[in-house]
Structure 1
Amino acid sequence: MSKRMGSIGFALAMLMGGSPSAMAENKLFKDIAYDSPLSTYSEAKGYYDCSEDVGAVAVCKDDVDFIGHKFTMALVFSADKLTTVSLVSDYEQALYDAAMAALNNTFTLSMMSDGKSQLDLVELARQTRSRDEFLTKFTSYAELGTAAGDFSYTFLEGADTVKKYASMTMMLLGSPDNTRSAELLLTGEGADATLVIRFSFPKLELNKAHAAAQKPVESF
C-alpha cells in the first residue's frame, strides 16, 4: 500500500534544534490514566474482554472518536494495571495523513522501524552534517520500509529535545519520567492493511521494572 511519510519538516525542526512540547500529565489517551485498575474499565459500559485477540489481558471499546475517525480502542494491562492504549482501524491514506499530522503537533518523531532494522533519528541528526544529508537518509529508509510492508514510527512527547543526545534511548533516559510515547504502526497489505496508534509511558514502565528487580528475593 502507498504510505506517505508525513511531516518531515516538523521532525527536522524538532530534532535539529526545536523546542520541547508542553509536558502532559500521566494520561495515556484523553482522560484514560496510566496505571489505572482493570476494574475501572472491565465493569464500565461499552467495554468488553478482548484478551484472546490481543494476546494479553485487555479490554476493548468500539467506535472511539479520534481525529475525525472511529477506532477500536484496546486497553492492555499488566498485574491489573493499565500500561498501554492502542487505537486500531483499517488503513486509509486519509487516516494515515491525519494521524501523522496530529502526532507531529505535540510529539517529536524519534525513530522508524521496518521490523528488521531501526533508524534512530536522534542519532541520525547528530551524525549527519546537513539538513539535506539527514533528509536523504530519512527519505530513503522510509520509502523502502513502507513499500516493504510493516512499518512503525515512534514519537516522544515531553522529551528533552534541546540537549544533543547521542540516541533516542539516551534522550528518553534524560527526559522526565512521564514522557509519553506514541507509536504509529502500519501492518498488512491490501484489504488486510491496518493502522494502529499505541500510547505508552516507556520510562515509567522501566522504573516499575527496576523497582521490582530491587525487591529482596524470598528465601526458600
Structure 2
Amino acid sequence: MLKKLASSVLVAGTLLASAQGAFAEEKLFKNYVYQTPLAKFTEAAGYYDCSEDVGGTARCIDDVDFLEEKFTVALIFSGDKLMMVSLISPFDQNLYVKAIAGLSKSFTLVSMNDEKSILDMFDTARKSRSTEELTTKISNFEQVGLASGNLTYTFLEGLNAKGQTNAVSALAAAPENIRSAELVMAGQGADAGMIIRFTFPRLEANKILAEAKKPVESF
C-alpha cells in the first residue's frame, strides 16, 4: 500500500509548495512540529526509512491512531527538516466519511481536484444560482473523481470564508502559518487508498522565495 501511494504523497506535496519561509514552531499533526530535524526520528523510536517508496527523504511509522483508526504516518523532509506529514491507509468508506467530517470541524474546504481539473469552492459558489445548483456541481465533480481513482480535497484551517472570491486569493490573504489538510483518494478496487497530508503552504512558499533571492554563486 505504501509503495502504491508514495508518489501521490510526494508529488502533490511538491506541487502544493511550488504553487503557493520563515521557520515556525507550528505543529503539522499532533506533536509533529514543522522544521523538526530528520535526526530526531530514529529507528529506536519506531521510525524506518521509507525514502525509496516515497521518492524523497522520508521516515515512516506504523499503527498511528487517528479518527479511531490505524494509519501509517509518512514524514516528508526538505533539507533534512520536516515539511509535511502524511497519514496513509487503505480505502474504507466509513473512514472516508469520518475523515471528511473530522476535517470539516476546524478546516474549510476550498477546492477539489482530479487529474484534469479543479473545482474552486468559492468561485463555484459565487457562480451558482442556488444551493441546489452548487450541490449538484460538487456532487458531479466528486463522482467523476472517485470513479477515476483520483480525487483530492483541499482544506485550510481557521479560514474566514466570508467575502472570498476564489481559493488562491483566500490562501494569499490568510496568515502565513495557516495549515493545509489534503484528503487524497487514490487508486481503484483492491489498490484504493486514502492519504491525509498536512502542510504549511505559505511557509513553504516563503522558504522557496527566500532561496530564490539568495545571490547566485559565480562559476
TM-score (ref. length: structure 1): 0.85
Residue 213 of structure 1 corresponds to 212
1:110 aligns with 2:97: no
Residue 202 of structure 1 corresponds to 201
Distance 2:102 2:213 in 1: 39
Give 1:45-64 correspondences, 5 Å limit.
45-64=45-64
1:96 aligns with 2:96: yes
- 1:61 Cα deviation from its structure 2 partner: 0.2
- 1:44 Cα deviation from its structure 2 partner: 5.0
Q: Secondary structure at the match of 1:109?
A: strand
- 1:177 Cα deviation from its structure 2 partner: 0.6
AA aligned to 2:168 is T
Q: Secondary structure at the match of 1:160?
A: coil
CA RMSD in angstroms comes to 1.3
Distance 2:85 2:44 in 1: 16
Distance 1:44 1:32 in 2: 17
Residue 42 of structure 2 corresponds to 42
Distance 1:62 1:43 in 2: 12
- 1:129 Cα deviation from its structure 2 partner: 2.8
1:42–1:49 CA contact under 8 A, matched in 2: no
1:158–1:176 CA contact under 8 A, matched in 2: no
- 1:171 Cα deviation from its structure 2 partner: 0.4
How many pairs does the alignment contain?
195
- 1:130 Cα deviation from its structure 2 partner: 2.4
1:160–1:174 CA contact under 8 A, matched in 2: no
TM-score (ref. length: structure 2): 0.85
Distance 1:194 1:28 in 2: 21
- 1:43 Cα deviation from its structure 2 partner: 5.4
Distance 1:97 1:138 in 2: 16
Distance 2:173 2:126 in 1: 16
1:59–1:74 CA contact under 8 A, matched in 2: yes
AA aligned to 2:64 is V
* Cα 1:38/1:144, change in 2 over 3 Å: same
Distance 2:101 2:137 in 1: 21
1:107–1:157 CA contact under 8 A, matched in 2: yes
Residue 126 of structure 1 corresponds to 126
- 1:159 Cα deviation from its structure 2 partner: 2.4
Distance 1:169 1:156 in 2: 11
1:64–1:72 CA contact under 8 A, matched in 2: yes
Moved over 3 A (4+): none
Residue 72 of structure 2 corresponds to 72
AA aligned to 2:209 is H
- 1:114 Cα deviation from its structure 2 partner: 1.5
1:152–1:185 CA contact under 8 A, matched in 2: yes
Distance 2:85 2:70 in 1: 15
Distance 1:158 1:211 in 2: 26
Identity %: 52
